[in-house]
Structure 1
Amino acid sequence: MPVSFKDVLLAGTLYWNSEFTGDLDELPDDIDDSDKYVQIPDKKELALGKPLVLDFARQFLPDNVGDVQEIFSKRGAYARFKDLLQRRGALDRWYAFEANAEERALRTWCDHNSIEVGD
């Protein structure tokens, strides 16, 4: 039975569990049942972090690639990156680029995990 891609994109129902804070949500007894539940990868697992930012900079801000590399060599990079995008008038383009990359990566992940996606 196919699942809605929107549910995958929005991660459907989320359950939060952390070794540092304990269970913030009551987890279902069968949470370990891989036939019923699957852990959706985060952006880092989908390679949507720094590599994606650098791809964007190379395509849309070629004169600022060095600046972007410098920004991402320190903590707090995303806030500084978004400031740069705002100054260059490229923030909306970044959001569209990022959303497109996230959709492609999640669809590929679904395919590799035999999750049938319906639109």
Structure 2
Amino acid sequence: MGVLPPANCINKFAVKYSWFQETFGELPNGADEATIRRYARTYIMMLLGTQLFGDKSDTRIHIRWLPYVARLEDMGRHSWGSASLSWLYWCMCRVVNIHMVKLARSLQLLQSWIFW
């Protein structure tokens, strides 16, 4: 059985990052395999929603990542490098808009690539 966030933590199609941190911040001692897999899915979803494909909010994680973390065995079948690169390009195209006020989080990837 999964864990559902309360209604005040849901905003349209996104869940507050703080709820993920509070609920799945630390794996309990003596956790069974199902609990470990649940925490692993949550951790991967947090990485996808904040580090690789983060949006400007920095406070929410979109539920679009649920199908990708549903089966951990299939995670290696996706081309995450290509997906993150296309997300980065998309974010860079949006930055050109004169009305854009805040940059997307994924530009950190560009900065680290430039650094290295």
The TM-score, its normalising length taken from structure 1, stands at: 0.30
Higher relative contact order (CA 8 A, sep 6+): 1
**Structure whose residues are more often helix by fraction:** 2
The TM-score, its normalising length taken from structure 2, stands at: 0.31
- Rg bigger for which structure? 1
